[in-house]
Amino acid sequence: MNKKLLALVCLIALIASGCAQKWALDAQSTEAQLAWPHPPEKQRIRHIMTIRGFKEKGDNLKGFFFGKGENRLIKPVAVATGRDGRIAIADTGTKSVHLYIPKEELYIDVFSFDDGEMMISPVSVAFDDDLRLYVSDSFYEKIAVFDSRGKYLYPITRMAVGDLKRPTGLAYDPGEKRVFAVDTLSHKIHVFTTKGEHLFSFGARGSGDGQFNFPTHIFWSPAGLIYVTDSMNYRVEIFDSSGKFHAAFGHHGDGSGDFAMPKGVAVDREGVVYVVDSLFDNIQLFDERGQFLLTLGSRGINQGEFWLPSGIYIDESDKLYICDTYNQRIQIFEIINNNR
């Protein structure tokens, strides 16, 4: 090996040795007090942070030669957090899932499967107790399962009742250790073990109790109830853990408490239900009986404003994450008072 080639190999090895860089959120904290509802009413929700992506920290040889790494959110549509504080963001703009583990300052761009297929349409994410990551890719008609470091494990595609048609929303039941998956084209909810074994399904197309018309999003509440956005019936349906219909609320309209394009749904520890409406560019809050409480946000680009929002998530500490999709960001809020 000549000296020039040896020097080049050594340089590449030296740069590679400095590639294990720490990452941080590319985030902006809220400078001014921004809370809802407005005074003199008691505050329920406070804006605390906006995430726009992820960036490398500090200096190293890789950064000197190639610049620091930076991954921006393009079209975030779903978000979830794990029990150790990690966050996963499904981004149909980057065709990947952004996985960030703050305790390790580690960022992983999850974008492919073991068989060489690249993600095309990741539309939902969920974590289980072992921090496995579940990703719905509606284009490939499957749910992909990854380990806690973003390594592909196996797909969920088939059931006793047939194949998945268009998997979308995902939710994890920590009590029974089950994964609930919305199949929008089948107008059903499918339930799996964490190993991908199909347990049961419920729902059918229609407008009656327990029926769906293109369901999209799902959330497992702290009370053990399942909330499903029944998008083209313009309502939210509620089920128990066995899939038995419990209640429903909502209808089409353009007033407070009405729905025009309902998307993500989430529930806090006090039973308050949060429903994203993309056409209204806001989030509406309801009590456990489906009675309208208040509206969070309006159309705009400032903090606390939205442009075609979609996914939503509430973590164990009652932090509220909203995919502000066309503003290319995740807005985070603190739920500070739920007494009604």
Q: How far apart are CA 264 and CA 226, in angstroms?
A: 13
CB contact burial 24-62 (16+ within 10 A = b; e otherwise): ebbbeebeeeebbeeeeeeebbbbbbbbbbbbbeeebeb
Contacts of 75 (CB under 8 A, 6+ apart): 91, 92, 93, 94, 325, 326, 328
Identify the pLDDT of residue 6: 47
Q: How far apart are CA 37 and CA 256, in angstroms?
A: 14
Token pair recorded at residue 193: 């073990």
Q: How far apart are CA 95 and CA 106, in angstroms?
A: 20
Token pair recorded at residue 3: 């000296």
| Tens place of pLDDT per residue across the chain (340 aa) | 554 554 444 444 434 444 568 999 999 998 778 999 988 888 999 999 999 999 998 765 555 444 568 999 999 999 999 999 999 999 999 999 999 999 999 999 999 987 778 999 999 999 999 999 999 999 999 999 999 999 999 999 877 667 899 999 999 999 999 999 999 999 999 999 999 999 999 999 999 999 999 999 999 999 999 999 999 999 999 999 999 999 999 999 999 999 999 999 999 999 999 999 999 999 999 999 999 999 999 999 999 999 999 999 999 999 999 999 999 999 999 998 655 4
Identify the pLDDT of residue 261: 98
Q: How far apart are CA 129 and CA 177, in angstroms?
A: 8
The answer to whether 214 and 184 are in contact (CB under 8 A) is: yes
Identify the pLDDT of residue 2: 58
For residue 66, the surrounding DSSP H or E stretch is helix 61-66
